[in-house]
């Protein structure tokens, strides 16, 4: 698909690796600054020192418009106005990628003031699940969190944070408050872009998708950040508005399974572009020639009662590599892939499989130690407090979902 570029071509040398072939016209805040703390404040501020970064959260003394995401919002607004002037009934696609609420949580004071520290709740499941093996614990605490020299860094050292020792309640509240503040900050930036759509009378002809690439742990299951296959990390934000479709004015919420690979085929259908074939083999890399995802466009133009009866995707899949760290050592002895599947019925099964990093595939036929397993029933245990893999009452569903994992990934 060739995207017409009414704004002209520009070099897009994004320092964190975006492919310049993906965009007709790109913009990066970071490219304009030689030094910055990732996703926070442009220019020399809390720069990397001693191989580590500064604060994981703090109050910024800058305005919204001086923050990285504030600058991105202003650029998106300018692009919308320029595209509106020259569009001449030609469609356009604009992707706006905000950093927050990723670390570090550095935002103006007014967003912190929205949350009283005394009102911040603690996670209802601060410990790892019962029957969860320590060698499979992969909290980000000894990786990303510990990389910050101040506040988070000292708290997430092995002396304060481990498999059986969650972060203390006071600091957990501080981290959760900072995340909430960062979320409210980026919500305000998204609002500015949406307000511009309204100002330009583009609301009723523009599909809007608000999407995140992963969830975020805040102490639940004794996990922080994103590097797990628990529900919090694998279930991400997806909001869609499709104008002109037969839906109730207030919208609707659906419990269908949707995967990130479903967004592209959905947009193709909603915009009326020529359909692309599905990849014939699961190992085929998705490209402009074939797709692995499934469109959910039909859910936007059918009546509610028909949507509820419509055949829905049975499973949603995810995966995350789990390093093998022998006890009492910092040496990584390779890794296994944690493959996970979530069913419509509210069951998640995760299997840890030896991984061939040369062929980029799990070794499902390796003999020896059986693969470690997890099973969580969200109908009875929404906070993943008990790993039920050894519970005989789940034997049939465990086998069925393990078969689905192997079929999907082997």
pLDDT of 9 strictly over 80: no
Q: Are 393 and 330 in contact (CB under 8 A)?
A: no
User: Which residues, 6+ apart, have CB-to-CB distance to 196 below 8 Å?
Assistant: 76, 77, 80, 81
- Stated as kind and residue range, the H or E segment containing 173 is helix 169-199
**What's the rounded mean pLDDT across residues 178-187?**
97
CB 14, CB 20: distance < 8 Å: yes
Q: Which of 355, 335, 367, 351 is nearest to 401 (CA)?
A: 351
In this structure, the number of other CB atoms found within 10 A of the CB of residue 366 comes to 11
β-pairing, 373-377 vs 217-218, is unpaired
Give the residue-averaged pLDDT of 250-268.
88
Q: Is residue 196 a contact partner of residue 94, using CB atoms and an 8 Å limit?
A: no
Asked whether the predicted pLDDT for residue 14 surpasses 50, the reply is no
Please say if the pLDDT value at position 176 is more than 80: yes
Q: How many CA atoms lie within 13 A of 366 on its CB side?
A: 15
pLDDT grade, residue 298 (50/70/90)? confident
Among 318, 317, 356, 354, residue whose Cα is nearest residue 336: 354
Average pLDDT over residues 78-91: 83
Is 365 within 8 Å of 409 (Cβ atoms)?
Answer: no
Model pLDDT, residue 348? 98
pLDDT of residue 336 exceeding 90, the answer is no
What confidence tens digit (pLDDT) does each residue in 189-239 have?
999 999 999 999 999 889 999 999 999 999 999 999 988 999 999 999 999
Task: Assign 405 a pLDDT band (cuts: 50, 70, 90).
Answer: very high
CA–CA separation, 125 vs 171, rounded Å? 16
In this model, does residue 172 exceed pLDDT 70?
Answer: yes
Task: Using pLDDT thresholds of 50, 70 and 90, give the confidence band for residue 284.
Answer: low
From 44, 178, 43, 30, select the one nearest 104 (Cα to Cα).
178
DSSP letter for 182, please: H
Is residue 4 very low, low, confident or very high in pLDDT (cuts 50, 70, 90)?
Answer: very low
């Amino acid at each position: 698909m060739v995207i017409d570029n009414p704004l002209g071509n520009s070099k897009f040398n994004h320092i964190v690796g975006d492919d310049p072939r993906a965009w007709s016209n790109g913009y990066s805040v970071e490219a304009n600054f030689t030094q910055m703390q990732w996703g926070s404040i442009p220019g020399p501020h809390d720069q990397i020192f001693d191989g580590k970064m500064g604060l994981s959260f703090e109050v910024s003394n800058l305005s919204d418009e001086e923050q990285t995401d504030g600058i991105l919002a202003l650029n998106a607004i300018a692009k919308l106005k320029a595209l509106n002037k020259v569009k001449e009934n030609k469609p356009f696609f604009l992707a706006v990628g905000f950093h927050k609420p990723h670390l570090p949580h550095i935002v103006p004071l007014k967003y912190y003031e929205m949350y009283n520290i005394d009102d911040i709740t603690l996670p209802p499941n601060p410990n790892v699940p019962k029957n969860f093996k320590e060698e499979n614990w992969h909290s980000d605490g000894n990786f990303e969190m510990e990389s910050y020299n101040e506040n988070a860094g000292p708290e997430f050292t092995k002396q304060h944070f481990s498999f059986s020792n969650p972060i203390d309640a006071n600091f957990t509240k501080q981290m959760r408050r900072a995340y909430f503040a960062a979320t409210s900050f980026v919500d305000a930036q998204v609002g500015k872009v949406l307000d511009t759509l309204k100002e330009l009378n583009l609301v009723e002809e523009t599909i809007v998708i608000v999407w995140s690439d992963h969830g975020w742990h805040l102490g639940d299951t004794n996990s922080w950040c994103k590097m797990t296959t628990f529900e919090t990390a694998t279930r991400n934000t997806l909001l869609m508005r499709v104008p002109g479709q037969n839906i109730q004015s207030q919208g609707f919420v659906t419990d269908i399974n949707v995967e990130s690979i479903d967004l592209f085929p959905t947009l193709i259908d909603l915009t009326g572009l020529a359909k692309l074939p599905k990849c014939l083999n699961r190992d085929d890399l998705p490209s402009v020639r074939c797709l692995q995802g499934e469109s959910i466009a039909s859910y936007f133009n059918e009546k509610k009662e028909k949507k509820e009866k419509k055949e829905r995707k049975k499973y949603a899949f995810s995966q995350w590599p789990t390093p093998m760290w022998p006890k009492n050592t910092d040496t990584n002895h390779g890794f296994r892939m944690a493959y996970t599947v979530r069913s419509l019925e509210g069951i998640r099964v995760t299997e840890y499989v030896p991984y061939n990093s040369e062929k980029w595939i799990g070794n499902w036929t390796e003999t020896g130690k059986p693969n470690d397993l997890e099973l969580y029933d969200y109908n009875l245990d929404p906070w993943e407090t008990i790993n039920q893999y050894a519970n005989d009452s789940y034997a049939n569903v465990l086998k069925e979902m393990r078969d689905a994992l192997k079929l999907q990934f082997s």
